[in-house]
Every structure is written in structure tokens, then in C-alpha cells.
Amino acid sequence: MKALITGANGQLGRALQETAHAGTEIIAAGSAQLDIGDADAVAAYVGQHKPDLILNAAAYTAVDKAESEEEQALRVNRDGPANLSAAASANDARFVHVSTDFVFDGVSGIPYPVDAPTAPAGAYGRSKLAGEQAVAPDTLVVRTAWVYASTGHNFVRTMLRLMAERDEVRVVADQIGTPTFAPSLARALWALSAKGATGMHHYTDSGAASWYDFAVAIQEEALALGLLDRAVPVLPIATSDFPTPATRPHYSVLDKSQTFALLGAPAPHWRVNLRQMLQDVKTHG
């Protein structure tokens, strides 16, 4: 099988390459190789390489900047999936697109099922919802949340740096979601595509946490592995204490029950995968 991975230099793109099944021919396309917002470029690239499967890990993810760059966010997050979906259909390839918990307003108190009403609170969420609506009905769309990896820029690596540099860290405690290890998501995307899944699915690691809970766990696990030399106070703060241009969901836990049933098992708990990620950092730097 030949698989095209867009956004190949990002956290998920790299994880998809690392977790691909043996014998899969990978075409890794970063933004330098393929501008997914350019319909002609996408049509030509897919027509040239003729993949059996396209996995779209490319996205505009600057949540706050999207408030002032909504057209740019839409070009990547709406037009990109539309272009890839059209090219997949024209070349008889399957298409997998990754979306986000930000399509929901965050006012629920229970996990969002796949058919829950969408109501994004900001430009980033609107652009991702537009991408969901722009793809063909036989596309596999997988919403996820709070993705991190052992490399790249993410919350875990930021916390490790701040905890090493500062005498205390302050972390928002009233936003609830689920941390998701990029390789865990990548393996799920490969498995779902192998099963021929289509339509909307939710996938994150298991469990739920606030950003504060996540930060506390990062410090505890990092101390146990010797990645930090000392513990510093981790102080909970409210979202209102840390204003940002974009409104973030206060609660965005996704209901994964249908996806877990299809895969035959639940995802590992987020803390198990956090421990694995930190072990990777200790081993590889």
C-alpha cells in the first residue's frame, strides 16, 4: 500500500511515519513539498504519486493567531481538506482527515458524542468545522484533542522547560479535556483506515484532566525519571487569570465509545502514555 501523509513534519505527521505498518510505502509531504491550500498543486501531486490512502495531518493550529488570520486558517483547515478530498476521489484513494474538539462550545458537562451539535467559539474551531463539512461523505474524519509528542512544540515540553527554569508555574485549572500522545492517535488512524472506517469518529487517550492536572502529572513523572532535579509549586489559576485572544472550551472531553468498540479496545489512559513520552525524552533527548 502507498500512503501520502500531509503535514509530515508535524507531531502527528512524524508519528504516522513511525507507526506505519511494515511494507507501507510512505510519501511524506510537508508544506515545502505540498501546499494543501492550492487545489491545482494538490491535484497534480496526488495524480503524480497515486497513493492508495491519504492521511491529512496538516493543519493551521495557531489558535490565538487565527483570530486575526482567519482567512489563512480557512485556507489550510477548510480548503486543504476539500482539495485533498477531491484529489482522493479523482484517484480512487481513501481519505483520512483529522479534526478537533474545538468544534464544540465547551459548555457540556458530559463527553461529546460524534453527533453532538457543533458550535465553535473561535476562528480556529470555525475553520476546522468548515474542513469537516468540505470533505466527501466517505472520508474518515477523526476528532482528537490536546495532542503532544516527544519532539516539537507542545504543552509537555513547555512544562518541562518552565519547571526547570522557574520557582513556580501557574496553570489553568478550569479547562477540562484529554491529553493525547501523537503515536497513540497515529496507531488509531492506521487501524481505523485498515478497517475501512468512514464518517465521523472521536479518538483521544482515555481519561480526562485539566491543564493543571496534566502539569502536576508531568512534574511527578519527570521527577520519577530524573528529568527534573527539583519539584516546584504548580499553582492552579482560572482561565480569566490568563486571558487570550481566542476563547477555549471549558470542557471538551470526547465520547470515544464507538471508536473504541470498532478498534476492539480502549486507548491507554493519558497518564500511561505521558509516562511513555517522558521515557522517550529521557532515552533520546
What is the rounded CA–CA span in Å between residue 172 and residue 95? Answer: 36
User: What ranges do the domains of the chain cover?
Assistant: 2-284
CATH superfamily of 2-284: NAD(P)-binding Rossmann-like Domain (3.40.50.720)
- Per-residue pLDDT band for 285 (boundaries 50, 70, 90) equals confident
Residue 173 is predicted with a pLDDT of: 98
Q: pTM of the entire structure?
A: 0.96
- Per-residue pLDDT band for 37 (boundaries 50, 70, 90) equals very high
Residue 284 is predicted with a pLDDT of: 86
**60 catalytically annotated:** no
What is the rounded CA–CA span in Å between residue 222 and residue 216? Answer: 10
Compute the mean pLDDT over every residue in the chain, rounded to the nearest whole number: 97
> Annotated catalytic residue: which of 124, 203, 212, 251?
124
Residue 19 is predicted with a pLDDT of: 98
% of the chain with per-residue pLDDT over 70: 100
- Residues 155-166 have a mean pLDDT of 97
* Pick from 18, 31, 15: nearest CA to 152: 15
What DSSP character marks residue 280?
Answer: H
Whether the pLDDT of residue 31 is over 90: the answer is: yes
Chain segment 108-145, per-residue pLDDT in tens = 989 999 999 999 999 999 999 999 999 999 999 999 99
Whether the pLDDT of residue 190 is over 90: the answer is: yes
Contact of 170 with 237, CB cutoff 8 Å: yes
What is the rounded CA–CA span in Å between residue 181 and residue 277? Answer: 7
Contact of 234 with 215, CB cutoff 8 Å: yes
Dihedral sign from CA coordinates of 253, 70, 117, 59: negative
- Residues 147-175 have a mean pLDDT of 96
Cα-atom radius of gyration of the chain, to the nearest Å? 19
Whether the pLDDT of residue 89 is over 90: the answer is: yes
Chain segment 193-239, per-residue pLDDT in tens = 999 999 999 999 999 999 999 999 999 999 999 999 999 999 999 99
Strands 234-237 and 169-172 come out as: parallel
